[in-house]
A and B are shown apart, each in its own frame.
Chain A
Amino acid sequence: MSAIGIIIGREFRERVMKKSFIISTILTPLLMVGIMVGTSFIMASNVGEAKRIAVVDRSGLIAQSLTSSDWIAYEPTSSTPEELRSQNDEQMYGFVVIGEDIIDNPSNVALYTYSTSTMEVESAIAGDIEEIIEQHRLKSYDIENLPQIMEEVEADVTLRSYKLGEEDEEDKESSSVLAFGLAYIFGFVMYMFVIIYGSMVMQGVIEEKSGKVLEVMVSTVRPYQLMMGKILGIASVAVLQFVIWIVIIFVGGSLVMQFMMPTDLVESANAISAGTADLAAMEGAGVDPELAAALANATDVGFLVRFFGSFLLYFLGGYLLYAAMFAAVGSAVDNIQDSSQFQTPITMPIIIGLVVMMFAMREPHAPLSVWCSMIPFTSPIVMMARLPFDVPMWELLLSLAILFATFVFMVWIAAKIYRIGIFMHGRKPSYKELWQWITTKD
């Protein structure tokens, strides 16, 4: 096996066999699912117990029309407020006192609670009473067939959006919810991967330098081979981790689809994929068309392959570019503390990329978004945000070409710093010295 191959093998094995890798790879997705399930469970269980509220209705018009909901139970009572106050029943949340002239004076209503009330409860009660007052007032106009008219007047708009296809292609139903979500998640994942694995390269180089292993290594292999072996070895760790996560997401996702999603929702999603969706029927069955469209997109294999494929390519390009810079910094310093000064110019463009990503999610085809998805230092992150919004193929290819060309150039620069930096001990070099190292001939 070639020297680089052996080095890649070591970097890969030493990291993958570590407990921390196994734990973080398996635990991170579980943790995320756990947090999502956990919070929704907590929210659901909180709703379970309805808040019991006694209603003292002096007008005699409101109480009988108040309908209890899942979380607020109205209990009309004949007790006086004074009696209720002294009862202090722990089962009760509080009581509402409605004034005699409530229809003319809607402000004549008060809520008394045994403990501090929340805004949610207050606005819910106010809303319920408001509705009843409005009905009473409407009634006073004495219009015939009023309930029927109201029902006809009411409108519920559901906007379906279609992305215009090429001539021979059908217009495809798109889901901006999904696009937004994917852009957001994968932009962040890209950012995290580049930073985490890039600085892992730097730490590895510093460890070799401070542990004096470098001197032994470079008597056997060329510094360039050592640097590339480390960069590629760690890249393979990152790719493995990513692939494991994708598999977990796919397996977990299909399990959820199979057993936990409402069947009518899945059927609607399938119908949208097949282009035979009937919106009215969907709504009749109580399915949210927006959700069904998102689900249809999420299960579109062609779309997913293209998306994850692009992610991998951009991750490799972006990681290699930044890892080369991190390796150069690692070689120039003696310890992690000294490295922070040189890390700043590296992390700055990544953070700029992240900021532009937020913008590009809303304006994927604005000039700023397009430019930053071409500049190699920001393109891996920004392009993630643009990808779900149909980026022309030539833009994608051009951006990737620039990214990989810059990576090759950066490796060349980094190797020049590296081969001198690894022998420099004791003093932190200045930028001027780094420039001298780059311009020194072999």
Chain B
Amino acid sequence: MDLLRIEHVTKRYAEHTALNDVSLSIPRGSVYGLLGPNGAGKTTLIRIINRIIMADEGTVLLNGKPMTQQDVYRIGYMPEERGLYKKMKVSDQAIYFARLKGLSHREATTRLKEWFIRFGIQDWWNKKVEDLSKGMAQKVQFIVTVMHKPELLIFDEPFSGFDPINANLMKQEILRLRDEGSTIIFSTHNMASVEEICDHITLINKSQNILSGRLDEVRHRHGNNIFEVDFRGEREALISALDGHCTLLDDGTTAEGIYNQVKIHVEDDSDVRGVISVINQSVELRSFREIIPSMNDIFIKAVAGQLKTVEEK
């Protein structure tokens, strides 16, 4: 069952519509990428899920039931703009937020100690946030977000401000939380990290959901029938054999030399098998691989309105 369902949510402000009839479902246990250019409405959607603001129309269902104020205890949210009380001790601060999320003082202290040991930051316990570096404060923010073991975790640009080592640590932690049963919404502009950790995505542009689905399925759906062919044998024979069956995009000649690799575009899915048999007859086929577009390409094309297929939700 889906953990979270957004149904026909619309939010209007005085001058503009921030979200226009957006629907999406987030499966339990998924890492769900929420993508979109700046100002598309991602933050508005996240705020609606967090009940920071209310939708004008539509409903948000958690576990199939409309969300209530009590449900915010089951959400952990790390906003893009990180915020901690600068003058407060790290430990006091984390316990404070955890108590607001419904943990007892004792329980919060125990869990916080576990996290401090996990991250090897025991000596930060009595430090004030203003004495921490940006990356250190980010770690504290992460702990604050996940300490109450929420069912739903929302991270807005979680890796910004981390060095590569710590970004990797965060990624491992996010995946570990997923393995322990949390569902994760992950909002970012970094498409490489989307490909690494997301299994579902939704792309919001101009207040609307323009693209949704499983990550691999979305990428395949937007493949342009471009294939890479590795072979052994007569290059000329292959090229002349392919003529008429498909378009040759790259014949493998580069400034450094000639490789036994070509790129082709097949007009229609149904022609693929025919093309393979033609290749097979002319040369020894070593590999035949579809080139799947990167999320980056899909993102740019989708936002520019150049996707060839009309998406259905």
**Contact of B144 with A216 in the complex, beta carbons under 8 Å:** yes
Which of under 10, 10 to 19, 20 to 34, or 35 or more describes the interface residues of B? 20 to 34
**Contact of A3 with B100 in the complex, beta carbons under 8 Å:** yes
B171 close to chain A: CB less than 8 A: no
B96 close to chain A: CB less than 8 A: yes
**Contact of A211 with B86 in the complex, beta carbons under 8 Å:** yes
A211-B85, A211-B86 known; A216-B99 Cβ under 8 A: no
CA A211 – CA B101 in complex, angstroms? 20
Within 8 A of A (CB), among B48-81: 50-54, 69, 72, 75, 77-79, 81
B305 close to chain A: CB less than 8 A: no
A6-B99, A221-B100 known; A212-B83 Cβ under 8 A: yes
Within 8 A of A (CB), among B38-56: 47, 50-54
CA A336 – CA B216 in complex, angstroms? 50
Q: Closest residue of chain B to A422, judged by CB? A: B52
Q: Closest residue of chain A to B96, judged by CB? A: A10
CA A213 – CA B100 in complex, angstroms? 14
CA A214 – CA B84 in complex, angstroms? 9
A3-B100, A6-B99 known; A219-B50 Cβ under 8 A: yes
CA A14 – CA B88 in complex, angstroms? 8
* Chain A interface, >50% SS class: helix
A3-B100, A14-B88 known; A216-B79 Cβ under 8 A: yes
Within 8 A of A (CB), among B254-277: none
Which listed residue (B14, B47, B83) contacts A216, Cβ 8 A?
Answer: B83
CA A3 – CA B78 in complex, angstroms? 19
CA A215 – CA B83 in complex, angstroms? 8
A220-B100, A222-B69 known; A14-B83 Cβ under 8 A: no
Chain A residues whose C-beta falls within 8 Å of the C-beta of B85 in the assembled complex? 14, 207-208, 211, 213
Within 8 A of A (CB), among B91-107: 96-97, 99-101
Shortest CB-to-CB span from A415 to chain B, Å, is 15
A6-B96, A10-B96, A14-B88 known; A220-B101 Cβ under 8 A: yes
**Contact of A219 with B87 in the complex, beta carbons under 8 Å:** no
Shortest CB-to-CB span from B277 to chain A, Å, is 58
Shortest CB-to-CB span from A244 to chain B, Å, is 23
B301 close to chain A: CB less than 8 A: no
**Contact of B83 with A214 in the complex, beta carbons under 8 Å:** yes
Q: Closest residue of chain A to B154, judged by CB? A: A219
Chain B residues whose C-beta falls within 8 Å of the C-beta of A221 in the assembled complex? 100
Shortest CB-to-CB span from A58 to chain B, Å, is 78
A218 close to chain B: CB less than 8 A: yes
Q: Closest residue of chain B to A216, judged by CB? A: B83
B82 close to chain A: CB less than 8 A: yes
Chain B residues whose C-beta falls within 8 Å of the C-beta of A1 in the assembled complex? 99
Within 8 A of B (CB), among A1-19: 1, 3, 6-7, 10, 14
CA A410 – CA B101 in complex, angstroms? 29
Question: What are the interface flags for A196-216 relative to B under an 8 Å C-beta threshold, 1 for contact and 0 otherwise?
Answer: 000000000001100111111
Chain B residues whose C-beta falls within 8 Å of the C-beta of A423 in the assembled complex? 53
**Contact of B79 with A14 in the complex, beta carbons under 8 Å:** no
**Contact of B97 with A219 in the complex, beta carbons under 8 Å:** no
Shortest CB-to-CB span from A424 to chain B, Å, is 11
**Contact of A213 with B84 in the complex, beta carbons under 8 Å:** yes
**Contact of A219 with B72 in the complex, beta carbons under 8 Å:** yes
Q: Closest residue of chain B to A218, judged by CB? A: B52
Shortest CB-to-CB span from B1 to chain A, Å, is 24
**Contact of B97 with A220 in the complex, beta carbons under 8 Å:** yes
CA A1 – CA B77 in complex, angstroms? 22
Q: Closest residue of chain B to A440, judged by CB? A: B14
Q: Closest residue of chain A to B52, judged by CB? A: A218
**Contact of B52 with A216 in the complex, beta carbons under 8 Å:** no
Q: Closest residue of chain B to A226, judged by CB? A: B100
A1-B99, A212-B82, A219-B75 known; A14-B50 Cβ under 8 A: no
CA A274 – CA B50 in complex, angstroms? 67
Measured CB to CB, the residues of B under 8 A from A are 14, 47, 50-54, 69, 72, 75, 77-79, 81-88, 96-97, 99-101, 144
Query: Lowest 7 CB-CB distances: which A-B pairs, in order?
Result: A212-B83, A213-B83, A212-B81, A219-B50, A215-B79, A219-B77, A220-B100
Q: Would you mind naming 29 contact pairs between A and B with Cβ atoms under 8 Å apart?
A: A6-B100, A7-B100, A14-B85, A14-B87, A14-B88, A208-B83, A208-B85, A211-B83, A211-B84, A212-B81, A212-B82, A212-B83, A213-B84, A213-B85, A216-B79, A216-B84, A216-B97, A216-B144, A217-B100, A218-B52, A219-B50, A219-B51, A219-B72, A219-B75, A219-B77, A219-B79, A220-B100, A221-B100, A423-B53
